[in-house]
Amino acid sequence: MNVVFWQNTLSIHQAPLIRELARNGTNRVVVVAESDIGGRRSRMGWEAVDYGDAKVVVSPDIREREEILERERTRSSHIFSGFGVYPATTRTMRKLMRGPHGRIAVVSESWETEGLRGVARTLRYKLAHMWFSKEVDFFFCIGAQSILQFRRIGVPDERLHPFAYFVADIVRPHHAQRISRDVDLLYVGELAPWKDPTSLIRALATLDASNWHLRMVGEGQSAEEIRQLATELGLIERITFLPYQSNTVVRSMMSESDLLILPSRYDGWGAVASEALLAGTKVVISSAAGASQLVRSEMQGWVFEPGDVTSLADLLASVVRSGGQTQQERSRLSKWAYQVISPRAGAQYLEEVLSAPPSRSAVVRAPWVATNDSST
């Protein structure tokens, strides 16, 4: 199979899937990115991006981009990041559609719909649907909300396919028997209103139990406000604030924690949830995060409505009362995660969809999606 990924930037969240897809020459994979990792992402702990055996072209000029396009036009499947969002990538998609071409796919998260900016985003996607959708064979929708949004703007169901961020494998942690019954909680992400870490602090302030500790890893515009709130609520001694850490360090923290909390008011996916589950760590996650689709039972964790401090507090209280995860729970969860959301599982799913006849691709089921998930 020949596949070209047209991306806006190199991504640690897509690299593991592409690396697996290209492993040992199994498939011929080319990645064309508008830019390298930006400074902001580097500061957030993004490390060097490894695409393995895939051929990677970064920041090609117009001539080089067109040469790649014409060389791969009919002999490859083309997967575009975003839908009419990134300028160079969109121009390439438009040129590809002007002549014969291989199968075309779009990978997209959901988009924010609140306020005037949300209205503008929805209009932009509707226009992109009018311009491009007839030529797009597959919409790989990251998170259930993405599928619902593309369905609303008129994309037929048979072209909509669940998708995810398949984060890098780690050496499976050895889950030693717990010595302490204190519950280790973890938050990883930007300290900003859209991630809503203040709801987490307010929820923790309602707990009667004291056998917990929270590590908050991140930086952002709300950092000082959160510290002040924690001080006012008498929690500052139970919270360790850390700046952004490398992904390696964060993954180690996850394997040592009992629970990851992702309270986002909006999150296209939330890759930290995938990382936590692979480490055998349960998650409490808001339904506004695409990765909430992974929580199918209490084996994976719990889902609450964004901004609902009471529900979040109830879930945290239950976890703290239970004393955290057992060795058996962690091992079982880690095993499940490797079976359904590892890069290998994602690559197998992508290959099945791309290689299936048009009449059969819609019945290929994503391994991480529950059979009773009404959004798919």
Report the CATH fold assignment for 183-337: Rossmann fold (3.40.50)
Whether 2-168+343-363 shares its CATH topology with 183-337 is answered yes
pLDDT band at 376 (very low <50, low <70, confident <90, very high): low
Question: What is the percent of the chain where pLDDT is above 90?
Answer: 78
Rounded to whole angstroms, what are the CA distances from 183 to 209, 211, 213, 313, 317?
A: 10, 6, 6, 15, 11
Residue whose token pair is 């599982």: 345
Residue whose token pair is 């604030």: 241
Q: Determine the longest span between alpha carbons in the chain, in angstroms.
A: 66
The alpha-carbon radius of gyration of the chain (Å, integer) is 21
DSSP state of 255: H
Domain definitions of the chain by residue range: 2-168+343-363, 183-337
Span 197-233, pLDDT tens digits: 999 999 999 999 889 999 999 999 999 999 999 999 9
C-alpha to C-alpha distance for 288 and 286, rounded to whole angstroms = 5
pLDDT band at 176 (very low <50, low <70, confident <90, very high): very low
For 154: left if phi > 0, alpha if psi spans -120 to 50, otherwise beta; the answer is left
The four Cα atoms 172, 173, 177, 180 give a dihedral, to 10 degrees, of: -150
Residue whose token pair is 């690396």: 19
Is the model more confident about 99 or about 11? 99
Rounded to whole angstroms, what are the CA distances from 180 to 214, 228, 276, 325?
A: 15, 29, 20, 12
pLDDT of residue 323: 86
**Which residues in 351-369 are b (16+ Cβ under 10 Å) and which e?**
bebbeeeeeebbebebebb
Q: Does domain 2-168+343-363 have CATH number 3.40.50.2000?
A: yes
Q: Quick check: 51 pLDDT over 90?
A: yes
